[in-house]
Amino acid sequence: MLNKIFFLVFLSFSTIIFSQEYKLTIYPDSGKYQISKHIYGHFSEHLGRLIYGGIWVGENNSIPNKNGIRTDIVEALKKIKIPNLRWPGGCFADEYHWKDGIGPRNERPKTINTNWGGVIEDNSFGTHEFMDLCDQLGCEPVICGNIGSGTVEEMSDWVDYLTADNEGPMSKLRKKNGREKPWKVKFWGMGNETWGCGGIMTSDFYADEMARYSRFLRNNNDNVLYKIASGGLEADYNWTETIMKKWSSTGGWLQGYLSGYSLHYYTVPHDWTNKGSATDFNEQDWFTTIFKTLRMDTLVTNHSAIMDKYDPQKRIGLIVDEWGDWHEVEPGTNPGFLYQQNTLRDAMVAAINLNIFNKHCSRVKMANIAQIVNVLQALILTDKEKMILTPTYHVFDLYKVHQDAIFLPFKLESEDYELDGKKIPSLHATASKDSTGLIHISIVNVNPEKSLKVSCGIEGVTSKQISGKILTSENMQDHNTFEQPDNVKIKEFKQFKIEDDKILIDMPSKSIITLEIKD
């Protein structure tokens, strides 16, 4: 009898524990900041097999292409509404001289890519090819100029070559190379990681260089430049202070010499000497990766606070133009090519970072995941004619609904996910309302073992029509391969119901969902 009583008490207690609901309350009337579509941007560097063997295959290749650019990659990226693409680097940018990549391809000089593998760079993919790629994608180009080994004249000429419509020498040179009308190129980075591979500069030296370069990067016609300063190391707040102080003290907002400030932060599961495998990892590695990814929120908050001090009107955007997971390269591949696989763990990192950027959208105006094809946390992997979409690609597909929507403030209650004495929230979320009135809610459950119940309420909204999509898999190490390209993919999600104007959601372990709500 005592055993029966104990069993009933235990059953009742366990039911309370496992049926506990966590609340997500969304406040649509409080939304006032737009989530810039450019937060969902991408990055393409002359590195490994990203350009050559990835995007660019040449016109005479048997792989379907348009003007040498792979058709399947273009179609995949258009599906996720790619808003912008950063090029040509990265560290490569500060050794790149753009005139090497124009004119007849058979006359372009061959150089050495000293940053990434010491391989030959034949410059067959240059300015015209990149602009054609952006045209095919329907996205905006983001060009990172060379401050490290270049000159003011060189970058100024590049701006004129692309955007001037006059009788000047650069406009004439562009026309000679086959492009009569200028392009629209708004976004320009003034150097990359100038604290390191971009020149090993101090913040004071770079601030002066940036102002000098910016002075000679001119607007042509109605092409108004958005000039992005190189930031310091991820937590170098003095660098941010130096740049913002100079901008403020010199009336930079009047002169228009600075529009954005760059921040780079990579999630490295272990450390830079042993970054860990992309696919062979355990729960401790999973937890540590998520734990380190959440640091992005602290970095954005702290840099934003300094920017707010000098720029309370938020005229300068925080540009997170390099972010993502950095693992060891795949065994047997060139270590200088940074080719790594991409699992459900990487999808979690992508979703959490996008949630953070959305949250800070009043200051964060652009972000670029590193990188788009065959490098680091790539969205696409290729092997000759084969192409696969990674779990990270599917996150961008799930989250494209948030582009240019109004961020909706919310309150989220979550239990902690604990491991070895450390804690992180199990749940992470974002919400937005688009121009048609549709509300989208994305929720991440990072706990790899435990499903959670979420009660979602939207103040002032009676949810009538709801649809959902989910990204998850059986194992945390699951990934897509060329033999099995659909191991991890988006599926329809139906594990929710409406009850008393609340949406009751059963969140599977290690899952990412997006709900669409029509009032």
Catalytic residues, by residue number, are 193, 322
Instruction: Name the β-bridge partners of 121.
Output: 111
| Run of H or E residues at 449 | none
d(CA 86, CA 71): 19
**Antiparallel, parallel or unpaired: β 410-412 and 21-26:** antiparallel
Instruction: Name the β-bridge partners of 364.
Output: 318
d(CA 113, CA 148): 15
Q: What length does the chain have?
A: 519
- SS3 of residue 180 by DSSP: coil
- In the DSSP assignment, the letter for residue 271 is B
- In the DSSP assignment, the letter for residue 475 is S
- For the beta carbon of residue 112, count every other beta carbon within 10 angstroms: 11
Peptide bond into 90 cis (omega under 30): yes
3-state SS string for 111-149:
EEECCCCCEEECCCCCHHHHHHHHHHHCCEEEEEECCCC
User: Side chain identity at 109, as an amino acid letter?
Assistant: P
State the number of CA atoms in the 13 A half-sphere of 372 facing the CB: 33
State the number of CA atoms in the 13 A half-sphere of 272 facing the CB: 2
Instruction: Name the β-bridge partners of 48.
Output: none
